[in-house]
Amino acid sequence: MKVLTVGGGGRELAAVDALYRSGSEVYAVMKNANPGIIRRSKAHLLCDEKDLEKVCSFAKENGVDLAYIGPEAPLEAGIVDALEAAGIRCAAPTKAAARIETSKTFMRELVEKHHIKGNLGFAHFDNAEDAARYIDTLDHEIVVKPVGLTGGKGVKVQGEHLLNREDTVAYIDEIFENNIGGAGVIIEEKAVGEEFTQMAFVDGKHVVPMPLVQDHKRAYEGDQGPNTGGMGSYSAADHLLPFVTQEERKEAISIVQAIVDAMAAEGCPYRGAMYGQFMLTRDGPKIIEINARFGDPEAMNVLSILETPFEKICLGMATGTLTDDVVFSHKATVCKYVVPRGYGVKSESGHEITVDEEAVKKAGAVAYYANVDEKNGKLVTGTSRSVGIVGIADSLEQAERNCEKALKAVKCDAMAVRHDIGTPELIQRRVDHMKQIRSA
């Protein structure tokens, strides 16, 4: 099949690579010249991924049969609606369905209206004064979020980023003064536990779960520093996580299914990859976010071990014919992102970066180019994450070692990596933390 892909990051390269392995003929649209995507595509167009006219023209000119959309911004712009109006099937949600991510208020109110388990206390405000008055009525810690899209970097948590009332009010003011997220602020109850990601393939009604993954948002080792888009992630060979039971995973999957059912009932059926971010608490999984796409970097973990042809899955999602026979290898994966120095605060971009792909492969890993650009025959870093390195093995320990060995094949004079991701020490801290919470 001729498949259009939109997006130029590591998540999108993982999807393009999976389509390429399926035998798809890929036609790629992206704003940066990702060399991995270019290498695997029949043709590509460099443009704003929200330019619906250009994207649709490129798709029609090349006679594509199916479209996969990676990032959330084009979904919010209505790219699926435009492509479907042009007769192109999409393995991605419409603008109305993408509200599950593009409006945190929509998500919380949907879950509340349909009495779905796992919701947190919340309130939405259109001005800073009312939000500040509201927090004075609470006797528990909170999370402050812009309602709209912020690239995964807008969430601030009391007790971590916000150390007192003054910090909290200042951040609320900042959201409104700088129009961060564009649609107000949502104040949520703070959930205490361990985060995990349950992604699923969805065809409007049917949900097929992917292996569990744990992402690491904080910029620095030891879970310190500002939130980022994600510094790395890991998945286990049994598709669980060391601190999540099979029953707790089933509960998370049932929440995702209930959300899909609710969206169908509301007249905006969801098709495409869905990302459920949960906090495992002593009362079970609580919903942190629902995103209208694959996670990044989590897509690299799961798509690297996907055995079923991704083209078949995408067609099933687009046409409402998804089946349960989706197979992932029973392998562990550890992904660590190489990022520009200063990422999370102010990135030092524009530096040359090289990857010895043969050395990465020999180490038992895969390299996924992300926010890099090919200029004058050289790769240069952008302001976001540069290259994702995914170690793959039978055990988490070996996958982490493979990842570290492969990282030596990446050279850049202004880069940073969180080397603690996927290490036995960090994972054990997660396990111990959940034991403490369960026994509290």
What's the per-residue H, E or C state across 4-19? EEECCCHHHHHHHHHH
CB burial string 17-32: b at 16+ within 10 A, e below: bbbbebebbbbbbbbb
Query: What percent of the chain has a predicted confidence (pLDDT) above 90?
Result: 89
Binning pLDDT at 50, 70 and 90, where does residue 376 land? confident
- Give the residues across from 89 on adjacent strands: 66
The dihedral region occupied by 66, where left means phi > 0, alpha psi between -120 and 50, and beta the remainder, is beta
Question: Which residues in 173-270 belong to E strands, given as ranges?
Answer: 185-189, 194-203, 207-209, 214-215, 218-220, 224-227, 232-235
Contact between residue 367 and residue 353 where contact means Cβ atoms under 8 Å apart = no
Summarize the confidence of residues 377-404 as an average pLDDT: 97
Rounded to the nearest 10 degrees, the angle between the axes of helix 424-439 and helix 396-407 is 140
- How many C-beta atoms lie closer than 10 Å to residue 86's C-beta? 15
Q: Could you tell me the sign of the dihedral formed by the alpha carbons of 350, 352, 357, 359, in that order?
A: negative
Helix (H, G, I), strand (E, B) or coil at 177: helix
What pLDDT shows up at residue 377? 86
Q: State yes or no: pLDDT of 42 exceeds 90.
A: yes
* Calpha distance 96→367 (Å, rounded): 34
- Give the residues across from 121 on adjacent strands: none
What pLDDT shows up at residue 93? 98
Contact between residue 382 and residue 372 where contact means Cβ atoms under 8 Å apart = yes
* Calpha distance 40→151 (Å, rounded): 26
* Calpha distance 155→104 (Å, rounded): 11
Q: Pick the residue with more confidence: 137 or 440?
A: 137
What pLDDT shows up at residue 125? 93
What pLDDT shows up at residue 374? 86
CA 242 to chain centre: 21
Contact between residue 199 and residue 319 where contact means Cβ atoms under 8 Å apart = no
What pLDDT shows up at residue 149? 84
* Calpha distance 62→245 (Å, rounded): 47
Query: How far, in Å, are 98, 234, 417 from residue 388 at the CA level?
Result: 26, 12, 10
- How many C-beta atoms lie closer than 10 Å to residue 201's C-beta? 23
Summarize the confidence of residues 405-431 as an average pLDDT: 97
Q: State yes or no: pLDDT of 138 exceeds 80.
A: yes
Summarize the confidence of residues 374-378 as an average pLDDT: 87
What pLDDT shows up at residue 139? 86
Summarize the confidence of residues 73-98 as an average pLDDT: 98
The CATH fold assigned to 121-189 is Dna Ligase; domain 1 (3.30.1490)
Q: What angle do CA 228, 230, 232 make, to 5 degrees?
A: 140
Q: State yes or no: pLDDT of 152 exceeds 80.
A: no
What pLDDT shows up at residue 420? 98
Domain boundaries, the chain: 2-99, 121-189, 194-426
Is the whole-model pTM more than 0.85? yes
What pLDDT shows up at residue 161? 85
* Calpha distance 49→80 (Å, rounded): 12
For the domain covering 194-426, report its CATH number: 3.30.470.20
Helix (H, G, I), strand (E, B) or coil at 109: helix
- 3-state helix, strand, coil split of the chain in percent (to 5) is 35, 30, 35
Tell me the per-residue pLDDT of 167-220, one tens digit each, with 9 for 90 and over. Answer: 999 999 999 988 888 878 999 999 999 999 999 999 999 999 999 999 999 999
Helix (H, G, I), strand (E, B) or coil at 141: coil
Q: Domain 2-99, CATH 3.40.30.10 — does that match? A: no
Contact between residue 117 and residue 251 where contact means Cβ atoms under 8 Å apart = yes
What pLDDT shows up at residue 267? 97
Binning pLDDT at 50, 70 and 90, where does residue 375 land? confident
Binning pLDDT at 50, 70 and 90, where does residue 155 land? confident
Summarize the confidence of residues 109-130 as an average pLDDT: 95
Q: State yes or no: pLDDT of 151 exceeds 80.
A: no
Could you write out the DSSP letters of every residue in 390-420? EEEESSHHHHHHHHHHHHTTEEESSEE--TT
